[in-house]
Amino acid sequence: MGKYQYRVNCELNINPKDFVGVRDVLEISLPCMNCQRNDRTIIFEGINTEGICTPREKCDGFPGKLTSREIIKKSDTVEVKYLIDFEYEPFIDKKYNLKSSLPEFGWARLYFTLKCTNCQKERTISTQENIGRPCNERCGCGNIIYKDEESPFDYEVNEFN
Ligand SMILES: [Zn+2]
Ligand SMILES: [Zn+2]
């Protein structure tokens, strides 16, 4: 069985001074060896938690953990870096009868909180790989608080030995 590490970087188009934080939950698509299905949505509820493979009634858990989350404030963006350590061995997808593969690029969603520069209210929003872009998020006061112009995500998978 192979051990792999999936690295996901998300560079949010946010001024660091308006950034409040990132929610613990990360949703991401990965092949799950446990239930032998490709492209499952795996939910991590925090650092060092096992992934929850969805739908839950079809799988009793993803064989991997979210092992690290790092937040880097740059001059005009905020970068969030995740590491997921997981076990994987190619399999034949049970439903589609296709060989599984590790994602070269992927799908992810994260939730973050920022502060409106106009009314100072905090708001939690999410961004994900596959939404129609550009997509602006507005505060209740009408101010645009987040401009989602291109996917902020970047993915990389490496095998460990
Ligand atoms: Zn599963
Ligand atoms: Zn506002």
> What are the pLDDT digits (tens) for 47-94?
999 999 999 999 999 999 999 999 999 999 999 999 999 999 999 998
Determine the distance separating the centroid of ligand 2 and the alpha carbon of 46, expressed in angstroms.
29
Determine the distance separating the centroid of ligand 1 and the alpha carbon of 132, expressed in angstroms.
28
Q: What is the mean pLDDT of the chain?
A: 93
Determine the distance separating the centroid of ligand 1 and the alpha carbon of 52, expressed in angstroms.
8
Closest ligand to residue 140's CA: 2
Closest ligand to residue 144's CA: 2
- Is the pLDDT at 161 greater than 80? The verdict is no
Determine the distance separating the centroid of ligand 1 and the alpha carbon of 49, expressed in angstroms.
15
Whole-model pTM: value is 0.91
Q: DSSP labels for 75-96?
A: SS-EEEEEEEEEEE---B-TTT
pLDDT digit string (tens) for 84-114? 999 999 999 988 888 988 876 689 999 999 9
From first CA to last CA, the distance across the chain in angstroms is 10
Closest ligand to residue 100's CA: 1
The confidence band for 115, taking pLDDT boundaries of 50, 70 and 90, is very high
Across residues 116-141, what is the average pLDDT?
94
Nearest to 74 by CA among 12, 29, 148: 12
- What percent of the chain lies above the pLDDT cut of 90? 85
Residues 24 and 45 sit within 8 Å (Cβ to Cβ): yes
Q: Give residue 104's pLDDT.
A: 64
